[in-house]
Structure 1
Amino acid sequence: MGVLEEIVESNRLPVLFIGAGFSKRYLYRYPSWMELLELSFAKFEPDVFQLQKHIDGCKRKGMSEFEINAYLGTVIEDGFNQAFFDRKISINVGNKKNPSWVKRRISPYKMFLADFFRRQKLNRSPELSEELDKLKKLKSKIAAVITTNYDSFLENQVFTNDYNVFVRQHELFSPDSYGIAEIYKIHGSVTDAESIVITEQDYKNFKESRKLIIAKMLTLFSESPIIFMGYSFRDENIKEIIEDFLSCLSDEQLSNIRKHFIFISYKKDEQNLVEIERTITTKNNIEIPFVEIQTDNYGLVYDQLARITPGISPLRVRETRRLVKTIVDQKMTSAEAQSIIVGIDDLSKVDLTSKPLAIAIGYKDNILNKYGYGLLEDNQIFEDIIFDNKKFDCEAMCSERYKNIAITRLLPVFKYVKNQHIIEDSKLDNYVKTHDSLDKIVSRKIAETFKNFPEYDSYEQLYRNMINAENCRKTAMSILKNMDNLTIDELREACKYLFEKYPNEFATETNAKRCILCLDIRENYLKK
C-alpha cells in the first residue's frame, strides 16, 4: 500500500506545506529565487556583470546557495531603494510622484515585489488547467496550508473565500486562528509588503521566531499528516524547519513518522508516483525515515487525496470552533444566553457582538425548511449572487423572502424570479418592474456622483485603481463608472473583490450593493 493510500485509509485531513515550485508549476513564467533576484537587480543596474561580481565574491567566501541568495537580497534592496529615492526608477503603485506608502516607511523593493507577485497570471496550458481543477476540489479535504510563497495563488485560485489567511508569524496563535481551514504565509504576502522575507536581516528575524512555526506544526501534526510540495531537499531554510520540528517529536510520534511526513517532488516527464525511501537526521543525530514521491503528474496525487471523505468540511469545523469558543467566553461574563438557529453553511455570518448565544447547528436545508427563508440576511443573498454557492430554493425566495420587498430596497432578485410565476401587481412584481434595467439601478443622478472618476480600457487597469482606493464606497463607484467596459465575468471579479476586501461594509454600502445588482441583472435578465 502506497503512503498516500495509507493517508486515505486513515481518513485524516492532511496539512500542505507549499513552496515556490508549486506556484512555478501553475503560474506563468513564475521565477525561481535566483531569477527573481536577477530581474530585481536589472531594474536599477543593467550590467549583469555587477551581479555576478557579488555572486563570485560570495562563492569565494564559501557561502552556501541559501546564504548567497539572502545576501543578494540585502544588496538588491539597498541598490533598488537608493535608485527609487533618487527617482531613477519608479513603481506603479499609488501616486507615481509621491506615493503614500513611502510615508509609511515601506521598503520600495518590497513594494515592488508585492506588486510583481500580485500580477502573476495562471499558466493556461490544458494539462495544467485540468490538474488545477482537481486541486480546487480538494478544498474540503485539506486541514490547513503553510506556505513560504508571497503570491496569492492559493487563497485566490484554490481555497477561494473558504480559508482564512494569516501573514505575520505572531498571527499563528492569534485568537482568530482555530487551526483548521487556514493558510499561514510564513514568509510574507503580496497583501502586506512589509511582511516579505527576502534579506539577510529578514531571514535572521524569521529564524529567531521560527519556534512559533514549529509549535504550530506540532499542533497541526497531532491531527494531520504533513505533505511538502514545491520544495527542494537543498533548501536550507526549510531543511532547518524540518529538523527543528522532528527534534520536538516524541519517540512514539517518530516511530510513525513515515506515514505522516511526505515529500512530493517534481521529476520531469514522470507520469507515475514513484516512492523513494529517504532519511533525514535530526539535531539529536537521530535518522528519521520518510517517503519522497517523485512525479510530473500531480493530478494522480490529487486523485488519491480526493478519496478522503471527511464527515464535515474544514471550513465548517473552523466556524464551529469559533462559535463554541465565543459561547465559552460569553459564559464567563453572563448567565443568560440568547438562542438562535444557524445553518451549517452560515456559521461565519452569525453576529456575536450583542447577546450571549446558545446555538443549534444543522444543515441549511433542514433549518430553512423548518424556519423559513425569511431568516436570510441580505449579505447571504449578495454572496449567492457573486459566488453561486448557497443553492437557495427560488420559489421559496420569491414566496417568503421577497413577498414584502420594498421598492426602495437594493436587493438582487433576478436570479430567483427568472423562472418563477410572479403575481401581477404584487410587491415583488412592482419591485422587478422598477429595477429591470441598468439605468434604473444606476440613474443619471447617481452617475453624476462619480462623473470625475476615470474610465479604463481594461479590467487590469481598473483593478490597480481598486486596490489603491480609499474605501468601499470609492471602490464601488469606480466599478460603476466602468460598468460598460466590463464583461460579466470581470464584473463578477470586481464584486468578489468588494466582498473579500470589505466584508463588513459591502452589504450596507449603497454603491457596492448597486454593483451586485448590476451583476444580477446582466447575468440573469439582460443576458436572457
Structure 2
Amino acid sequence: MNYSVYEADVTSDIKECLNELGTQPVLFIGSGLSKRYFNAPNWIELLEQLQKACPYVPHEVGYYLQDGRSLEEIGSEFTEYYRKWAWDNRGKFPDKLFEASTPKSSYIKFMIASILDVITPDSIHGVQSEQHLSELKNLQEIQPHAIITTNYDMFIENIFTDYQPIIGQRILKPDTMSIGEIFKIHGSTNEFMDLVFNKEDYDMFLKKKKYLSAKLLTFFAEHPLLFIGYSANDKNIQRILSDIDEIISTDGDLIPNIYFLEYNKNLTENDIPSKEKVLFINNKEIRIKYIEAKNFDWVFQAFSANKAWDNVHPKLLRALLARTYKLVRSDIPRRSVEVDFDIIERAVSDDQSLPKLYGVAMLDDPSQLNLQYPYNLTQIGEQLGYTSWHSANRLIELMYKKTGVNIKETDNKYHILIKTGKTEMHKYSKHVVELLRAVDKGEKYTIDL
C-alpha cells in the first residue's frame, strides 16, 4: 500500500458519506486557508505585525508569551497601547473612531482590517501559484451547503461569490441558516469594530456560543463536515468539536461525517497517513476522520463528486427559502397575503405537487419507488430509536462484518441506489428496520436479498 491507495480509500469513504447523507458538505474554514493561498498571517504573526506597527507597544510578542499570556490576553494589552497611540496621533485613524461612544478596541481592529485588506486577493486569480489556482477552482466545485469561518479577511467571499456573508451577531437571527451562506462567527474586516480579537471579545463570544451551537445542530447532524485550515490544537476547533461531541454523543466512537484536512509538505508516494485522529478535549476522547495531503486537488474533487447544484445558483435557492420563511412566519399569520389553503394542503401532502407549486418539474415519477423505499439512513436511525444516521450505519457495518453481506452494495429488498445525473442517494425499505432491530438486539436474523 502507498499514498495513491490511501488517496483512493479516502475518496471512496468521502463519496460513501455524501451518498448516505444525500446533502451538500458544510465547510469549516480557518486561517490556514488564507495562509496557504496568499500568505496571510496566523494569529501570532498578526500580533507581531501589530506590535511593529505601534511604537507604544514596549515589547515583542515573545516577551508576553514567556509570561504565559494567552493570545487573547496579549490582544487586550495591545488594545490599550493602540488606544493611547491613536489619541496621540489622530491623523493615522478615521475621525469617526474618536467619538466618545466608540469602543476602545476600534483602533487596533482598524489596523487589523487594514493589514488584511491590503494583502487579500480580489479573486482566486490573484493567487500566485498555478497549483493553488487549480485547488481553488476545485474548492468552488464543492458547492457547499454553507461555510463557517473564524477568518476575518474576505477571501472566502471572493472564492464563493454567490454566497451571502452573515457576520457576527446576525448569525443568531431566526431567518439565517439558509443555503449558500458564509457564517463569519468572529467578524469581518468590512465591519472591523465587531471583530472577536481580545479577551473581552472572546469572553462575550463564549457566553453566546451555546446559542450559536444550537443553530449549528442541523449542520452537525445532517451534513458531511470538512475542516480546512485549522490545527487540531486550535482552541476554536476544539470548542466546535466539543460541541459536536455533546450533540452527537459519540462516547469515543468515530464521528463518521467529520473530516479534518491537514497539509503535510513532507508526504511522499510511499507514505501511508492515518485515516483517523484522536483528540482529547475536556477529558473526553473524540475520534474524527483525518486526511493528510500535500496537494488538495483530489480532496476537493472527492467532496464535489456528488454535487447536485449544476446550473443552479445559491442566490436563487437562498431567495426561495427566505421568501418561503417570510411567508410562513409573518405574511400568512398577519393575513397580509391571500392564501388558498386547499391548494397548499394538497401540495404539502403530495411529493409531486409541492415542486410544482414552486415551479419545479420532476424528472420522473418515483411514487412507487418511494412507497417501497421510503426511508433515508437518518430516518432508519430514528425508526430504531436513535437521533441520527450514525447508529444505523454502524449496525449495517456490524452485520457486514458478521455475515460478509453489505446490503448497500446492491439493489435489494432492503436498499436501492437512486441516481439522478451526478447525484446518488441511498434509500431503504421497511424491511431493513426489522433487520437492523434484530442486529441491534443481538437476536438471530436472516438476510434475504
Q: TM-score, length-normalised on structure 2?
A: 0.65
Q: Counterpart of 1:75?
A: 77
Q: Counterpart of 1:265?
A: 262
Tell me how far 1:280 sits from its aligned partner. Answer: 2.8
The equivalent position to 2:96 in structure 1, one of 90, 100, 109, is 100
Change (3 A) 1:251 1:218: same
Tell me how far 1:51 sits from its aligned partner. Answer: 4.0
**Corresponding position: 1:167 with 2:167:** yes
Tell me how far 1:49 sits from its aligned partner. Answer: 4.8
Structure 1 gaps, min length 5: 340-357, 364-528
Change (3 A) 1:45 1:12: same
SS at match of 1:248: helix
**Corresponding position: 1:17 with 2:21:** no
Change (3 A) 1:265 1:55: same
Change (3 A) 1:238 1:336: closer
SS at match of 1:361: coil
Q: Counterpart of 2:151?
A: 149
Q: Counterpart of 2:289?
A: 291
Q: Counterpart of 2:304?
A: 306
Work out the percentage of aligned pairs sharing the same amino acid.
26
CA contact (8 A) 1:277 1:292 kept: yes
Tell me how far 1:50 sits from its aligned partner. Answer: 4.8
CA contact (8 A) 1:271 1:297 kept: no
**Corresponding position: 1:213 with 2:249:** no
CA contact (8 A) 1:13 1:143 kept: yes
Tell me how far 1:338 sits from its aligned partner. Answer: 8.4
Q: Counterpart of 2:17?
A: 7
CA distance in 2, matches of 1:250, 1:316: 36
Tell me how far 1:238 sits from its aligned partner. Answer: 2.2
Change (3 A) 1:131 1:338: same
Equivalent residue letter for 1:310: A
Tell me how far 1:279 sits from its aligned partner. Answer: 2.0
Tell me how far 1:281 sits from its aligned partner. Answer: 3.9
CA distance in 2, matches of 1:112, 1:308: 42
Change (3 A) 1:6 1:126: same
Q: Counterpart of 1:426?
A: none
Equivalent residue letter for 2:98: V
CA contact (8 A) 1:42 1:48 kept: no
CA contact (8 A) 1:43 1:80 kept: no
Change (3 A) 1:309 1:53: closer
Q: Counterpart of 1:227?
A: 226
CA contact (8 A) 2:213 2:243 kept: yes
Equivalent residue letter for 2:326: T
CA distance in 1, matches of 2:171, 2:215: 7
CA distance in 1, matches of 2:51, 2:298: 39
Structure 2 gaps, min length 5: 1-8, 122-126, 341-355, 362-449
Tell me how far 1:318 sits from its aligned partner. Answer: 2.6
Q: Counterpart of 1:330?
A: 331
What number of residue pairs does the alignment pair up?
A: 322
| Cα RMSD, aligned residues only | 2.9
CA contact (8 A) 1:143 1:180 kept: yes
CA contact (8 A) 1:166 1:183 kept: yes
Q: Mean alpha-carbon deviation: is it higher for 144-153 or for 103-112? A: 103-112
The equivalent position to 2:137 in structure 1, one of 127, 133, 136, is 133
SS at match of 1:289: strand
CA contact (8 A) 1:102 1:108 kept: no
Name which structure has the greater RCO, CA cutoff 8 Å, separation 6+: 2
CA distance in 2, matches of 1:231, 1:105: 32
CA contact (8 A) 2:152 2:195 kept: yes
Equivalent residue letter for 1:213: L
